[in-house]
Structures are given as structure tokens and as C-alpha cells.
Amino acid sequence: MATMPNSALPAGDPRPDLAQIYGPVQQDLDRTDRLFEEALATDNQFVLDMVRYLGETQGKKVRAALCLLSYRACLAGAAGMDSESYRQSLVTAEAVELIHNATLVHDDVIDDSDTRRGRKTLNYRWGNEVTVLMGDFIFARVFGLLARHVSPEVIQVISVATDRLCEGEIQEVRARFMVTQNEAEYYDIIGKKTAALMAVACEAGAMLAGAEDGVRSALRRYGEGVGVAFQVADDLLDLTAPEARLGKPNGHDIKEGKFTLPLLHALKACGQGERAEVQEVLLKPELAPHDVEFVMGFIRRHGGIAHARNRAAELVREAKAEISALPESSAKAGLLGLADYIIAREF
């Protein structure tokens, strides 16, 4: 398949195939689907309706795949499917995915979003109050699931990562429309709100496989790099993806007052007068479509998109280097392929 112009991969490189990447752990991921039902089971029909709707709108399960691929990669692909560590890896993979979904449920309320993954959001269908409580319900059930089935050491690192994730979300909301924000602050936010959970998914997989500390740390750093690259790629898609695939108009982050890497780079690269002009637009109480187009044109003129694309590719190269010492296996190949997929995806 030809690479789209907006891809972060070099021109001519084949786009990674997610089904092939997930191949080594596809059966594992299928088993985690049953854990989703177990974790969120309830006799309350109203809550169950929301749970079932959420189950129909699950995404690509990237975090679960990262956990399971890391687990198998540390065992050179040879995981004993009757072992206690394997059972714990399934629970952990589903737990990190559910934590991610809980944050998305809350994000949709914060952003007043009406669609996600091509379907109406929970808050659109059931209202903000109930949806916030649904996110809380998921968090509570996740840690109950972990407490029943997973070792305390793994629960501890997941707890710390969840804490960092929530802190990053708070920082992001606090930083909206803050025109003095810089790239260091941006990386700090996305390192917490996006990368922390991906990093712990990889680290937990290594821990459950009994990997030594050096391997565990390498996989954590791989997950951090992939997580930051994932968010940079997401921020690029907001500016470049076809709106039909994105499910919302381009420049949504600009309207929401989110200063992502392409915009921050352009603000740093331009002259003082132009910067003041753009900042004045960004501080309007409400941005009209022509305001968003103006800012998007400004970003393109000053190389913001190219800079972010190059940075995402650099982050992926660095992340892949972190796991070069792992033994060759289909699971390791999956980790390498998933890193490439993250910056080549179209939505």
C-alpha cells in the first residue's frame, strides 16, 4: 500500500499492517475481551447498557497489545499459556486498556465531544453526570480486578502510572489557551497523560515475564518513547487527517485551546509581530472557522507539521533502539512494527 503524504514514514515505505503486528498475541487479545465483560459485569440494567455500548466502541487495544507483546518478547515468544504469569498478563493487559477507556469517557465530557471512533459518545447518549460516574465505575472495577488476580508489585507500578496520567490530564486542562506555553511543558504533559500508561503496559509485561531490571527498564523506555510519539502523531492527525476519518473538523485542538507541537514550533519559529497576531487570534473567546484556517495556515508556513512529523519518527527510532537487545521473536517484531504503525496510522 502506498504511503499517504501525511505519513511519518519515509516515502515509499510500506504501511505497517496491524493484523500482522498483532498476530503473535491475537489469541491473547481475544481472551482479554472476556475479561472486559467480567470486570464490568453488573446486575444494574442501566449500567449494563452503558457497559455494552462501551464494549462495542473499543479501539485498537494498543496498550493491551503492548503489554502482551512485551510479556512474550521477554520470553522469546514462548509463553506457557497455563502458567500463572500468563493469566496475570491477560488481566494486566485488559486493566491498562480499561484505564485508558475510563480516561476517554472523562475526556469526552471535558471536551464536550459528541462522537468517538465514529459513534456517539456516552455523554451524548446519557448525559455528562452519568458519564462521569461511569468513568469512575470503570476505574473502581479495574483496581478490583487487579487486586483479585495480579501481584502487588505490578499493581503498584500501574497505580503510579495512573496517578501520573491523571496529573497530566489536569495539567493539560490548566494549560488551555495559555499562549506562553513552551515545548518542554507540552512534552511534560503528554509524557504523563499518554506515555505513562503505555510505558507501564510494557514494564508490567516484562515484570510478569520475570525479566531482569535492565530489560524491564528498556521496555519502559520503549513504551515512553512510543507513547510520546503516539500523542505527537495524534496532534498531527488533528491537522492533517481527512475529516471523514477523523470524525471531527480539522483544527479541533486549536478551537479547544490546546497548544500542540506543530503550533508551538510555529510560534517559536516566527517573528515577534506575527506571533503577537496569532496569539491574539488564539485568545478569542470563540474561534470561527476562518480563525482556525488562519492558524492552520500559519502552522504550515512555519514548518510546524514537518517538525512534528520528524520528531515523531525520531522518537520511534529511539524507542526501537531501546529493545534491540531482546532476543529475536515474533513478539519483538510486533513491538517494532507497532512503533512504526503508531506514526503511520491515518486515524
Low-confidence residues in the chain, pLDDT < 70: 1-15, 77, 244-247, 347
Can you tell me the distance from the alpha carbon of 171 to that of 103, in angstroms, rounded to the nearest whole number?
14
286, amino acid identity: E
Q: What is the pLDDT of residue 77?
A: 67
Contacts by 112-116 with C-beta closer than 8 Å and gap 24+? 113/248, 115/247, 115/248, 116/57, 116/247
pLDDT tens, residue by residue, 258-316? 999 999 999 999 999 999 999 999 999 899 999 999 999 999 999 999 999 999 999 99
Residue 193: how many CA atoms within 13 Å on its side-chain side?
A: 20
Can you tell me the distance from the alpha carbon of 194 to that of 171, in angstroms, rounded to the nearest whole number?
12
Ranges of H-type helices in 248-346? 252-255, 261-269, 272-282, 289-301, 304-322, 330-344
* Backbone dihedral angles phi then psi of residue 177, each to the nearest 5 degrees: 65, 15
Of 247, 199, 244, residue with least CA distance to 225: 199
Cβ atoms of 201 and 70 closer than 8 Å? yes
Q: What is the pLDDT of residue 208?
A: 97
Strands (DSSP E) contained in the chain are: 115-116, 119-120
- Kindly state the DSSP code that residue 23 receives in the 8-state scheme: G
Angle at 99 (CA atoms; ends 178, 195), nearest 5 degrees = 50
Q: What is the pLDDT of residue 242?
A: 77
Q: What is the pLDDT of residue 244?
A: 63
User: Does CATH number 1.10.150.450 belong to domain 18-344?
Assistant: no
Q: 3-state DSSP: the chain helix, strand, coil percent, rounded to 5? A: 75, 0, 25
Can you tell me the distance from the alpha carbon of 147 to that of 139, in angstroms, rounded to the nearest whole number?
12
Q: Bridge-partner residues for 219, per DSSP?
A: none
- Kindly state the DSSP code that residue 116 receives in the 8-state scheme: E
Q: Bridge-partner residues for 86, per DSSP?
A: none
Cβ atoms of 344 and 7 closer than 8 Å? yes
- Kindly state the DSSP code that residue 83 receives in the 8-state scheme: S
β-pairing, 119-120 with 115-116? Answer: antiparallel
**Distances in Å between the alpha carbon of 91 and those of 25, 85, 164, 286?**
14, 10, 21, 44
Of 310, 129, 345, 79, residue with least CA distance to 237: 345
